[in-house]
Structure 1
């Protein structure tokens, strides 16, 4: 899923730009949006969903004739984007979130704010923007990947009719290893080389008898203890070849994909020079 953020001060045309982007991107795939509403409440206290929520429900799902709305406690932007990716969205447009690390199209005076990071375009407010140029900019952004989005991708394979099962692997940051306590891991990779290596592994694994599809993804950057590092999804006709291929795919990823790991512990930090991704 490609993600772009539209940021700016009030009355700069953020919503207008978002709606134009959504319309244009919808011609290329499915689009989801995120609207930051810190000074509003989506389910007022006098509504039934509001009463459920105020009574202590951790989550409330409202169903209308045309909508399904999920209301949860402890909201955050990452979880919102994860939910859109899990739905199988191809694009996500975020309105607001000036302080996030997301790639941003910044409108008007906010473009001069040094505290706004990862700016990919600066535009005048309420102007005749070149939407086609902005769509091409969105298409160049990195993918936002979740395990759910990879499963959705595999399930969209027309050969799923030959499948008897899907198996997944999720590697996470292990916090305790013997006497060592890890607080985070940082991964660096040669983006193009690493992606090409993973694509090659998936292509070769799909040549095996009974294997219908294989996809994998490895995150980069700083990941805190318990956070997801790597996903592998395998779809096969039968369980016998399914689990063997899942394990073999993981081992090949560890051995063949150029990714370096820095470990942060309570006793200090260091680079791990072998290519271990667990």
Structure 2
């Protein structure tokens, strides 16, 4: 899922630009949006769902004839984007989130007055930009990937009708290894080289008898204890070849993909020679 953030001060034309992007990107795939509403309450206390929430429900799901709305406590922007990716969105547009690390199209003076990261385009407020150019910009951004989005991708393979099962592997940041207590890991990779290496592994694994599809994704940047690092999804005709292919795909990822790991522990930090985390 490609993600773009539209940021700027109030009344700079953010919502208008978001709607234009939704219309244009909808011609290329499914689009989801996120609206930051920190000064509002979406689920007022005088509604039935609000009463459920205020009574202590950790999550509330409201269903109408045309809508399904999920309300949960302790929300984060990552949660919102994960939910859109899990739903199978091809694109996500976030209105707001100036302080996030997401790629941003910034309207008006905010780009100069605030210390924002990852600004990919600056536009005058209430401008009439070339939407085609902005769509091309969105298509250039990195993918936001979840395990569920990869499973959806595999299930969309026309040959999935020959599959009897799907197996997945999720690597997470381990906190305790022997006497070492890890607080976080940081991963770096040669972007194009690493992606080509993973594509090669997937292509070659799919040539095995009975293997329908193989996809994988490795995150980069700082990843905290318990968070996901790597996903591998394999679909196969039968379970025996399925689990063998899953293990072999992981071992090849470890050996062949140029990814480097820095480990942060309570005793200090250091680069690890292993190329990826199990």
TM-score range (shorter-chain normalised) is over 0.9
Q: 16-25 vs 121-130, which deviates more?
A: 121-130
Cα separation, 1, equivalents of 2:113 and 2:181: 39
2:115 aligned with 1:118 = no
C-alpha deviation, 1:274, in angstroms: 2.8
Divergent runs of 4+, >3 A: none
C-alpha deviation, 1:103, in angstroms: 0.3
- SS at 1:231 equivalent: strand
2:89 aligned with 1:83 = no
Cα separation, 2, equivalents of 1:161 and 1:81: 30
C-alpha deviation, 1:276, in angstroms: 3.6
C-alpha deviation, 1:168, in angstroms: 0.1
- SS at 2:56 equivalent: coil
- For residues 62-120 of structure 1, what are the alpha-carbon distances to aligned partners after superposition, in whole Å with 9 as ceiling and x for unaligned? 00000000000001000100000011100000000000000000000112134111100
Cα separation, 2, equivalents of 1:169 and 1:217: 11
TM-score (norm 1): 0.99
TM-score (norm 2): 0.99
Cα separation, 2, equivalents of 1:190 and 1:127: 37
- SS at 1:183 equivalent: strand
Cα separation, 2, equivalents of 1:5 and 1:255: 36
- SS at 1:33 equivalent: strand
Equivalent runs, 1:94-109 vs 2, <5 Å: 94-109=94-109
2:27 aligned with 1:27 = yes
2:240 aligned with 1:224 = no
- SS at 1:208 equivalent: coil
C-alpha deviation, 1:42, in angstroms: 0.8
- For residues 205-230 of structure 1, what are the alpha-carbon distances to aligned partners after superposition, in whole Å with 9 as ceiling and x for unaligned? 00000000000000011101111000
Equivalent runs, 1:126-141 vs 2, <5 Å: 126-141=126-141
Cα separation, 1, equivalents of 2:120 and 2:276: 33
Cα separation, 2, equivalents of 1:95 and 1:217: 27
C-alpha deviation, 1:128, in angstroms: 1.3
Aligned-CA RMSD value: 0.6
C-alpha deviation, 1:254, in angstroms: 0.1
Cα separation, 2, equivalents of 1:58 and 1:105: 34
Cα separation, 2, equivalents of 1:56 and 1:208: 52
Equivalent runs, 1:170-189 vs 2, <5 Å: 170-189=170-189
Where structure 1 has 5 or more consecutive residues not aligned to the other structure, the ranges are none
- SS at 2:234 equivalent: strand
Cα separation, 2, equivalents of 1:30 and 1:142: 17
Residue 198 of structure 2 is matched in structure 1 by 198
